[in-house]
Amino acid sequence: MRVLSESEINRIIQEGKKLSEDEGTAVLDQFEQEQPEIYQAIFGPLSDAIAEDSLDMSYLFLDLCFDIIWVHQKQFGNTLKKVAGKEWLNAKIGRLDAEMKALNEDLPMNERFRRHLQFRFVDRSAEAEIQLELLKYLENRVHNYASFERSRQSAIRITNNLLFVVAMLMAELYSEEA
Protein backbone atom coordinates (compact mmCIF):
# COMPACT_ATOMS: atom_id res chain seq x y z
CA MET A 1 0.00 0.00 0.00
CA ARG A 2 1.26 3.47 -0.78
CA VAL A 3 0.38 6.87 0.59
CA LEU A 4 -1.95 8.78 -1.74
CA SER A 5 -1.59 12.43 -2.70
CA GLU A 6 -4.19 15.09 -1.99
CA SER A 7 -5.29 15.12 -5.63
CA GLU A 8 -5.67 11.32 -5.67
CA ILE A 9 -7.75 11.42 -2.47
CA ASN A 10 -9.95 14.20 -3.86
CA ARG A 11 -10.44 12.39 -7.18
CA ILE A 12 -11.42 9.12 -5.51
CA ILE A 13 -13.79 10.83 -3.08
CA GLN A 14 -15.44 12.72 -5.94
CA GLU A 15 -15.95 9.41 -7.75
CA GLY A 16 -17.61 8.08 -4.60
CA LYS A 17 -19.93 11.08 -4.44
CA LYS A 18 -21.16 10.22 -7.97
CA LEU A 19 -22.28 6.72 -6.93
CA SER A 20 -26.00 6.08 -6.85
CA GLU A 21 -27.58 5.18 -3.53
CA ASP A 22 -27.74 1.53 -4.63
CA GLU A 23 -24.07 1.54 -5.63
CA GLY A 24 -23.06 3.12 -2.30
CA THR A 25 -25.14 0.56 -0.41
CA ALA A 26 -23.45 -2.23 -2.39
CA VAL A 27 -20.02 -0.91 -1.33
CA LEU A 28 -21.06 -0.96 2.32
CA ASP A 29 -22.75 -4.37 2.00
CA GLN A 30 -19.58 -5.83 0.51
CA PHE A 31 -17.48 -4.29 3.28
CA GLU A 32 -19.87 -5.69 5.90
CA GLN A 33 -19.47 -9.17 4.41
CA GLU A 34 -15.69 -8.89 4.25
CA GLN A 35 -15.12 -7.10 7.57
CA PRO A 36 -18.18 -7.61 9.79
CA GLU A 37 -16.40 -6.68 13.04
CA ILE A 38 -15.12 -3.32 11.74
CA TYR A 39 -18.48 -2.62 10.09
CA GLN A 40 -20.36 -3.34 13.32
CA ALA A 41 -17.94 -1.15 15.30
CA ILE A 42 -18.45 1.78 12.91
CA PHE A 43 -22.23 1.51 12.73
CA GLY A 44 -22.59 0.60 16.39
CA PRO A 45 -20.50 1.78 19.34
CA LEU A 46 -18.38 4.34 17.47
CA SER A 47 -21.26 6.25 15.88
CA ASP A 48 -23.31 5.82 19.08
CA ALA A 49 -20.53 7.46 21.11
CA ILE A 50 -20.65 10.51 18.85
CA ALA A 51 -24.48 10.58 18.90
CA GLU A 52 -24.33 11.10 22.67
CA ASP A 53 -22.89 14.55 21.94
CA SER A 54 -24.47 15.30 18.56
CA LEU A 55 -26.72 13.19 16.38
CA ASP A 56 -25.81 15.37 13.38
CA MET A 57 -22.12 14.67 13.87
CA SER A 58 -22.76 10.93 14.15
CA TYR A 59 -24.41 11.04 10.73
CA LEU A 60 -21.44 12.95 9.34
CA PHE A 61 -19.14 10.35 10.92
CA LEU A 62 -20.96 7.58 9.05
CA ASP A 63 -20.75 9.50 5.77
CA LEU A 64 -17.04 10.07 6.25
CA CYS A 65 -16.48 6.43 7.18
CA PHE A 66 -17.96 5.59 3.79
CA ASP A 67 -15.32 7.87 2.26
CA ILE A 68 -12.59 6.04 4.19
CA ILE A 69 -13.88 2.64 3.07
CA TRP A 70 -14.38 3.84 -0.52
CA VAL A 71 -10.87 5.31 -0.83
CA HIS A 72 -9.26 2.10 0.42
CA GLN A 73 -11.40 -0.22 -1.69
CA LYS A 74 -11.15 1.90 -4.82
CA GLN A 75 -7.38 2.32 -4.64
CA PHE A 76 -6.23 -0.91 -2.98
CA GLY A 77 -9.00 -3.43 -3.70
CA ASN A 78 -11.21 -5.48 -1.44
CA THR A 79 -10.14 -6.90 1.91
CA LEU A 80 -11.05 -10.53 1.33
CA LYS A 81 -7.61 -11.86 2.21
CA LYS A 82 -7.76 -11.00 5.89
CA VAL A 83 -10.92 -10.77 7.90
CA ALA A 84 -10.39 -8.71 11.01
CA GLY A 85 -11.93 -10.79 13.77
CA LYS A 86 -13.07 -9.61 17.16
CA GLU A 87 -9.67 -10.32 18.75
CA TRP A 88 -7.80 -8.41 16.02
CA LEU A 89 -10.17 -5.47 16.32
CA ASN A 90 -10.07 -5.38 20.13
CA ALA A 91 -6.27 -5.55 20.14
CA LYS A 92 -5.94 -2.74 17.59
CA ILE A 93 -8.49 -0.50 19.29
CA GLY A 94 -6.97 -1.15 22.71
CA ARG A 95 -3.51 -0.27 21.43
CA LEU A 96 -4.79 2.85 19.68
CA ASP A 97 -6.69 3.93 22.79
CA ALA A 98 -3.58 3.71 24.95
CA GLU A 99 -1.44 5.49 22.36
CA MET A 100 -3.95 8.27 21.86
CA LYS A 101 -4.22 8.76 25.62
CA ALA A 102 -0.46 9.10 25.72
CA LEU A 103 -0.74 12.01 23.29
CA ASN A 104 -2.99 13.87 25.72
CA GLU A 105 -0.61 15.54 28.16
CA ASP A 106 -3.54 16.34 30.49
CA LEU A 107 -4.03 12.67 31.38
CA PRO A 108 -1.82 11.45 34.22
CA MET A 109 0.64 8.78 33.08
CA ASN A 110 4.16 7.64 33.86
CA GLU A 111 6.34 9.80 31.58
CA ARG A 112 8.59 6.96 30.49
CA PHE A 113 5.55 4.86 29.57
CA ARG A 114 3.96 7.88 27.82
CA ARG A 115 7.07 8.38 25.66
CA HIS A 116 7.14 4.67 24.81
CA LEU A 117 3.50 4.78 23.69
CA GLN A 118 4.04 7.98 21.71
CA PHE A 119 7.02 6.53 19.83
CA ARG A 120 5.14 3.28 19.21
CA PHE A 121 2.21 5.28 17.86
CA VAL A 122 4.41 7.16 15.38
CA ASP A 123 6.15 3.95 14.29
CA ARG A 124 2.89 2.05 13.78
CA SER A 125 1.33 4.96 11.89
CA ALA A 126 4.31 5.04 9.53
CA GLU A 127 4.32 1.25 9.09
CA ALA A 128 0.62 1.17 8.29
CA GLU A 129 1.07 3.99 5.77
CA ILE A 130 -1.95 5.88 7.06
CA GLN A 131 -3.40 8.18 4.44
CA LEU A 132 -2.46 11.62 5.79
CA GLU A 133 -4.24 13.53 3.03
CA LEU A 134 -7.38 11.56 3.79
CA LEU A 135 -7.07 12.54 7.46
CA LYS A 136 -6.74 16.20 6.44
CA TYR A 137 -9.83 15.92 4.27
CA LEU A 138 -11.80 14.29 7.11
CA GLU A 139 -10.74 16.91 9.65
CA ASN A 140 -11.65 19.75 7.29
CA ARG A 141 -15.07 18.24 6.66
CA VAL A 142 -15.72 17.85 10.40
CA HIS A 143 -14.72 21.42 11.21
CA ASN A 144 -16.65 22.83 8.27
CA TYR A 145 -19.83 20.90 9.14
CA ALA A 146 -19.58 21.82 12.83
CA SER A 147 -19.15 25.50 11.98
CA PHE A 148 -22.73 25.71 10.70
CA GLU A 149 -24.33 24.81 14.02
CA ARG A 150 -23.03 25.54 17.50
CA SER A 151 -24.52 22.35 18.97
CA ARG A 152 -22.24 20.25 16.73
CA GLN A 153 -19.03 21.80 18.06
CA SER A 154 -19.02 19.75 21.26
CA ALA A 155 -18.57 16.60 19.17
CA ILE A 156 -15.65 17.77 17.01
CA ARG A 157 -12.94 16.10 19.08
CA ILE A 158 -14.62 12.72 19.45
CA THR A 159 -15.62 12.69 15.78
CA ASN A 160 -12.07 13.44 14.64
CA ASN A 161 -10.63 10.89 17.07
CA LEU A 162 -12.97 8.13 15.96
CA LEU A 163 -12.43 8.93 12.28
CA PHE A 164 -8.71 8.61 12.95
CA VAL A 165 -9.35 5.23 14.60
CA VAL A 166 -11.29 3.99 11.56
CA ALA A 167 -8.65 5.33 9.14
CA MET A 168 -5.90 3.68 11.16
CA LEU A 169 -7.78 0.36 11.30
CA MET A 170 -8.18 0.44 7.53
CA ALA A 171 -4.51 1.31 7.02
CA GLU A 172 -3.41 -1.51 9.29
CA LEU A 173 -5.78 -3.97 7.68
CA TYR A 174 -4.47 -3.16 4.20
CA SER A 175 -0.82 -2.99 5.25
CA GLU A 176 -1.09 -6.42 6.91
CA GLU A 177 -2.66 -7.81 3.75
CA ALA A 178 0.21 -6.51 1.64
- The model's pLDDT over 114-159, given as tens digits with 9 standing for 90+, comes to 788 878 777 777 776 789 899 999 999 999 999 999 999 999 999 9
CB 157 within 8 A of CB 49: no
Rounded to whole angstroms, the Cα distance separating 123 from 20 reads: 39
What is the pLDDT of the chain when averaged over all its residues? 89
Mean predicted confidence (pLDDT) in 13-40: 95
**For residue 178, pLDDT beyond 70:** no
This prediction's pTM: 0.88
Percent of the chain surpassing pLDDT 90: 61
Percent of the chain surpassing pLDDT 70: 93
Q: Give the tens place of pLDDT for each residue, 40-49.
A: 999 999 999 9
